[in-house]
Amino acid sequence: MAITKLQANIIDGIADTSQQLLAAMNKIATLVQYFNAEAISSLTAEDIATLGELSHVTPAELAAARNAMSELLTAGGGYATGSIMTRLSKITKNIP
């Protein structure tokens, strides 16, 4: 059976999206490390209020966002054999 154009487009979309997800996960890992290293959790509502467009964010919401990112990293499983990350990396066009 020959691959159809639609099937090829779907596979291409999965490959592109996998690459984007891997890039996002790597960025998330960096941001979580910076969050911890730069004592972001010690910021007050008044400190955050100076951020203009993000002035509505509370320290609790900021911590929750950091925790969500950390949970995504945990769910991704790093590059351990059989993890979400390794399964995504196998379909990408570029080795991450």
Half-sphere exposure of 71 (CA within 13 A, CB side): 6
Q: How far apart are CA 88 and CA 77, in angstroms?
A: 11
Q: What is the residue-averaged pLDDT of the chain?
A: 92
Report, as an integer, the average pLDDT of 54-75: 95
Q: Which helix (H) or strand (E) holds 20?
A: helix 5-37
Instruction: Please report the pLDDT score of residue 79 as a whole number.
Output: 84
Report, as an integer, the average pLDDT of 15-40: 94
* Contact indicator for 95, 89 with CB cutoff of 8 Å: yes
Nearest Cα to 24, choosing from 81, 75, 80, 82? Answer: 75
* Contact indicator for 59, 48 with CB cutoff of 8 Å: yes
pLDDT tens, position by position, 31-57: 999 999 999 999 999 999 999 999 999
Predicted model pTM: 0.81
